[in-house]
Amino acid sequence: MIDDDLLALESMSSFLKEQGYEVFTARNCITGLEIVKNIMPDVIVSDIRMSGLNGIEFAIVVKGLNYCIPLILVSSCDPKSDPFIEKYSYGFLQKPFDINELKIMINRAASGGCLKINELVNC
């Protein structure tokens, strides 16, 4: 899970840990990329708007490395504002969202594996 907002990162992480998930967190995409390379998580959840490497750029790097890991992007931005959201993510949740929606999407992503381009899953 990658988010530069510490409060959002801690609250999502705590909820998912309570649900039985093993959660690794990063406050930026560079650290997140190191976690991905070393741990190869089942699902990645990343905010889009961050300084430095943002969530979309992170998604492009992960796909470019041919990692078959579903990526869920979260942001307060409108998903229609950026065509790369649909192209490079498994799913998208607009902030603020119900934390249970995140859980549902993570479960779908973990059980469904990699999707082809444009097979975006929406809850």
pLDDT tens for each residue of 56-70:
999 999 988 888 899
Residue 1 belongs to some domain of the structure: no
Q: Over the stretch 76-108, which tens digit does the pLDDT of each residue have?
A: 887 777 788 888 889 999 988 899 999 999 999
Position 121 in a domain: no
Domain span at 107: 6-112
The answer to the question of residue 90 being in a domain is: yes
- Please enumerate in sequence order all residues whose Cβ is within 8 A of that of 35, keeping only pairs 6 or more positions apart, or say none: 24, 26, 41
Residue 118 lies in a domain: no
What is the CATH number for 72? 3.40.50.2300
118 vs 38: which has the higher pLDDT = 38
With a CB cutoff of 8 Å and minimum separation 6, the contacts of 59 are 46, 71, 73, 84, 88, 89
Say if 94 falls within a structural domain. Answer: yes
Mean model confidence pLDDT for the chain: 86
> Is 93 within 8 Å of 43 (Cβ atoms)?
no
Percent of the chain residues past pLDDT 70, beyond the cut: 91
The whole model's pTM is what? 0.85
In a domain, 43, yes or no: yes
Does 115 have pLDDT greater than 50?
Answer: no
- Say if residue 53's pLDDT is above 50: yes
Count of structural domains within the chain:
1
Burial class (CB in 10 A: 0-12, 13-18, 19+), 38: exposed
